[in-house]
C-alpha cells in the first residue's frame, strides 16, 4: 500500500511534468505566445525541481541519518510522513536506531565512569608503561606516591632511585618483586607486580606498586614485642622470688646483727653477709625496674588521635627539654611551615617521643662548641606531615644507625635501649614510621612521617 501510494504520487508528478513540457513545446511552435511560453517553461522547471526533491527526499534523509550516526548527533529526528506509511516507518526506524545508540553510549559512559572511579579509589598505585616508553599514572594513589614530580617517561623514574627505574624497565608480566623506592632521601619498600594488556592493538604493561614498609615495620615490631614479652615474663618469674628472698634475708641478718655483740667473732662475718645480701636485693630490684621498663614496649595503648598543632607541640616539648638543660643554653629552635600545620595524632604519646629525641640530641651536642638542635614540621611532596629533629653533633655511624630502633640496644652508658624502640612503636601505632639519617650539618636527623 505504501509503495503504491508512492508510485501514484510519482506518476502524478510525471504526468504534470509531461503536460508542462508538451504545453511548452506547443507554445514554442506557435508564434506570438512568448509570455505563455516563458510561463510554461517556468512551470516545467518548477515541476522538475519538485520531482527531484520528491525522489531524493529518502536519499537525503538516509544521508542525514548516516551523518548523525557518524558524528554521534542523537538529537536528529526523521519524519517522512509525506511519502506514505512505509516511509513513516522508515523514519521511525531511523529515529529508533539513533535512540538506541544514544542509550548504549550512555550505558558505556556510565560503566566507564564507574570503572574510572573504582580505579581512582584503589589504594594501590597503578601506572601504565607504553611501547614508546611513556608512562601514565592511572589513579590517585599513583599520583600521591610520586607527588609533584613530573612522571611522563620511563627515565623520569630515575629520580626515585636507579634500582626502582631498572625494576620498572625490566618488569616481567606475572612476576612479583620487592623494590626500593627513594623519595626525599627516605627509602620505602614496595612490591611490584606487572600485567600485560592490549589496548587498541597496542601492547602496554600495567604495573601495580604496593607500599609494604608499614607492614614490614609492623611485623618486625610485633616480633620484638613477642620476644620482649616472653623474656620479661620469664625474667620476672625468676627474679621476683630472688628479690623477695634477698630482702627477707637482709632483714634476718639485720635482726641477728642487732642481737650480736660488736666484738663477737661472727660480727665481721655477719657484716659481710649483710653487705652481700643487700647487694643481691638491690641488684635484683634494679633488674626488676629494668625489665619493667621494657614492658612499656608491649603495653602501648592504641593512640587516641586528635588534631594537634605542631607549633604548640614543639613549644611544649621544647619547654620540657629546656628545663633539663642549662638555663643559658639557647641551642634549641623550631620551625613549622606552614605555621598553622597540624597532625592527626595522640599528643600524649607523641610528646614523650619528641622529648626523648631532644634529650638524645642534647647529649650528642654536649661537647660541641656551638651546639644546634632543630625541630621542623612540614609537608613532604606526597602531602604527608613530617617532623624532623636534627642536631650538629658527631652523627651516628652506619653500623649503629641500623640498630638504634632495636629493643635492648644502646651505646650510652646507663641507657636502657627503650626510648627509640618505643618511639618506633608509637609511630607504627600511628600508621607512620621513623627514620634516622644524616642532617645537613653532619649530625643526626630523626624523621617522623605520618
Residues 318 and 428 in one domain: yes
- Integer Cα distance of 157 and 288 in angstroms: 52
- What's the pLDDT at 85? 45
What separation, in Å, do the N-terminal and C-terminal C-alpha atoms of the chain show?
Answer: 80
How far, CA to CA in Å, does 62 sit from each of 83, 97, 419?
14, 12, 82
- What's the pLDDT at 31? 74
- Contact of 360 with 440, CB cutoff 8 Å: no
Picking from 256, 276, 298, the residue at the C-terminal end of a domain is 298
Residues 348 and 437 in one domain: yes
Residues 64 and 153 in one domain: no
- Contact of 291 with 236, CB cutoff 8 Å: yes
- Integer Cα distance of 54 and 207 in angstroms: 61
The alpha carbons of the chain give a radius of gyration, in whole angstroms, of 44
Q: What number of other Cβ atoms are within 10 A of residue 31's Cβ?
A: 7
- Contact of 135 with 156, CB cutoff 8 Å: yes
Stated pTM of the model: 0.55
Residues 48 and 180 in one domain: no
- What's the pLDDT at 25? 75
Q: What number of other Cβ atoms are within 10 A of residue 410's Cβ?
A: 17
Considering only CA atoms, which of 165, 154, 161 is closest in space to residue 188? Answer: 161
Picking from 248, 280, 298, the residue at the C-terminal end of a domain is 298
Task: Give per-residue burial for 207-229: e unless 16+ CB within 10 Å, then b.
Answer: bbbebebeeebeeebeebbeebe
Residue pLDDT tens, the chain, 450 long: 444 555 666 677 677 777 777 777 777 777 777 777 777 778 878 877 776 766 666 666 666 666 666 666 766 666 655 555 455 666 667 677 777 777 777 787 888 788 888 888 888 888 888 888 898 888 888 888 887 788 888 888 888 888 888 888 888 888 888 888 887 767 777 888 888 888 777 788 888 888 776 666 666 666 666 666 666 666 666 677 777 777 777 777 777 767 666 566 666 666 777 777 777 777 777 667 666 666 665 666 778 889 989 998 898 888 888 877 765 556 788 898 888 899 998 888 888 889 888 888 888 887 777 888 889 999 887 778 899 998 888 888 877 877 777 766 666 665 556 778 788 888 888 888 888 888 888 888 999 988
Q: Say which residues have a Cβ less than 8 Å from residue 349's Cβ, sequence separation at least 6.
A: 300, 301, 303, 426, 429, 430
- Contact of 193 with 208, CB cutoff 8 Å: yes
Residues 290 and 356 in one domain: no
- What's the pLDDT at 327? 55
pLDDT tens-place string over residues 9-24: 667 767 777 777 777 7
- Contact of 294 with 233, CB cutoff 8 Å: no
Going by the DSSP 8-state scheme, the letter that residue 79 receives in this structure is -
Which cell numbers in the block locate residue 328?
Answer: 643559658
- Integer Cα distance of 80 and 73 in angstroms: 19
DSSP 8-48: HHHHHHHHHHHHHHHHHHHHHHSTT-HHHHHHHHHHHHHHH
Please classify residue 322 by burial: count the beta carbons closer than 10 Å to its beta carbon, then call 0-12 exposed, 13-18 middle and 19+ buried. Answer: middle
- What's the pLDDT at 366? 79
Residues 180 and 242 in one domain: no
Please identify which residue in the block is written with the cell numbers 602531602: 383
Residues 260 and 220 in one domain: yes
Evaluated on CA atoms 172, 127, 120, 337, the torsion sign reads positive
3-state secondary structure of 245: helix
Picking from 277, 298, 319, the residue at the C-terminal end of a domain is 298
3-state secondary structure of 265: coil
- Contact of 421 with 297, CB cutoff 8 Å: yes
- Integer Cα distance of 263 and 223 in angstroms: 58
- Integer Cα distance of 392 and 394 in angstroms: 7
Number of domains in the chain: 4
Give me the CATH number covering residue 415: 3.30.565.10
Domain residues for the domain of 180 are 122-211
- Contact of 58 with 94, CB cutoff 8 Å: no
The H or E element that residue 374 is part of is strand 373-379
Beta bridge partners of 134: 153
Residues 103 and 126 in one domain: no
Residues 312 and 419 in one domain: yes
3-state secondary structure of 438: strand
Evaluated on CA atoms 428, 429, 431, 433, the torsion sign reads negative
Residues 40 and 168 in one domain: no
Q: Torsion angle, CA of 101/107/112/115, rounded to 10 degrees?
A: -160
- What's the pLDDT at 3? 47
Residues 164 and 193 in one domain: yes
Give me the CATH number covering residue 148: 3.30.450.20
Cα atoms in the 13 Å half-sphere on the side-chain side of 102:
12
Residues 50 and 27 in one domain: yes
Pairing type for strands 444-449 and 385-391 reads antiparallel
Amino acid at each position: 500500500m505504501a509503495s503504491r501510494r508512492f508510485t501514484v504520487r510519482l506518476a502524478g508528478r510525471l504526468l504534470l511534468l509531461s503536460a508542462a513540457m508538451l504545453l511548452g513545446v506547443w507554445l514554442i511552435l506557435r508564434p506570438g505566445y512568448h509570455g505563455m511560453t516563458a510561463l510554461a517553461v517556468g512551470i516545467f522547471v518548477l515541476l522538475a525541481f519538485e520531482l527531484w526533491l520528491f525522489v531524493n527526499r529518502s536519499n537525503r534523509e538516509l544521508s542525514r541519518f548516516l551523518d548523525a550516526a557518524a558524528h554521534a548527533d542523537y538529537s536528529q529526528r526523521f519524519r517522512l510522513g509525506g511519502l506514505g506509511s512505509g516511509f513513516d516507518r522508515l523514519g521511525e526506524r531511523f529515529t529508533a536506531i539513533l535512540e538506541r545508540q544514544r542509550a548504549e553510549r550512555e550505558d558505556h559512559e556510565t560503566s566507564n565512569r564507574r570503572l574510572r572511579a573504582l580505579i581512582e579509589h584503589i589504594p594501590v598505585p597503578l601506572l601504565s608503561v607504553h611501547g614508546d616508553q611513556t608512562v601514565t599514572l592511572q589513579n590517585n594513589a599513583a599520583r600521591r606516591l610520586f607527588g609533584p614530580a613530573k612522571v611522563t617517561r620511563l627515565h623520569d623514574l630515575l629520580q626515585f632511585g636507579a634500582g626502582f627505574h631498572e625494576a620498572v624497565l625490566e618488569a616481567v608480566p606475572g612476576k612479583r618483586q620487592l623494590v626500593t623506592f627513594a623519595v626525599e632521601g627516605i627509602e620505602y619498600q614496595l612490591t611490584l607486580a606487572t600485567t600485560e594488556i592490549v589496548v587498541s592493538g597496542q601492547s602496554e604493561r600495567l604495573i601495580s606498586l604496593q607500599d609494604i614498609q608499614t607492614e614490614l615495620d609492623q611485623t618486625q615490631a610485633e616480633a620484638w614485642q613477642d620476644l620482649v614479652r616472653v623474656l620479661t615474663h620469664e625474667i620476672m618469674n625468676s627474679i621476683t622470688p630472688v628479690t623477695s628472698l634477698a630482702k627477707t634475708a637482709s632483714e634476718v641478718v639485720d635482726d641477728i646483727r642487732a642481737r650480736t655483740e660488736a666484738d663477737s667473732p661472727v660480727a665481721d662475718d655477719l657484716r659481710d653477709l649483710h653487705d652481700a645480701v643487700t647487694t643481691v636485693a638491690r641488684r635484683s630490684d634494679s633488674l626488676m625496674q629494668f625489665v619493667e621498663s621494657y614492658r612499656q614496649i608491649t603495653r602501648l595503648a592504641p593512640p587516641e588521635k586528635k588534631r594537634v598543632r605542631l607549633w604548640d607541640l614543639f613549644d611544649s616539648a621544647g619547654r620540657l627539654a629546656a628545663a633539663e638543660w642549662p638555663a643559658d643554653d639557647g641551642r634549641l629552635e623550631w620551625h613549622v611551615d606552614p605555621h598553622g600545620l597540624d597532625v592527626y595524632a595522640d599528643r600524649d604519646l607523641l610528646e614523650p617521643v619528641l622529648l626523648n629525641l631532644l634529650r638524645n640530641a642534647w647529649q650528642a651536642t654536649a661537647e660541641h662548641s656551638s651546639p644546634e638542635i632543630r625541630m621542623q614540621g612540614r609537608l613532604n611532596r606526597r602531602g604527608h606531615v613530617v617532623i624532623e629533629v636534627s642536631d650538629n653533633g658527631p652523627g651516628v655511624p652506619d653500623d649503629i644507625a641500623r640498630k638504634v630502633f632495636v629493643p635492648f640496644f644502646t651505646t650510652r652508658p646507663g641507657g636502657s635501649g627503650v626510648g627509640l624502640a618505643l618511639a618506633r612503636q608509637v609511630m607504627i601505632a600511628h600508621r607512620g614510621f621513623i627514620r634516622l639519617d644524616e642532617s645537613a650539618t653532619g649530625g643526626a636527623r630523626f624523621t617522623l612521617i605520618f
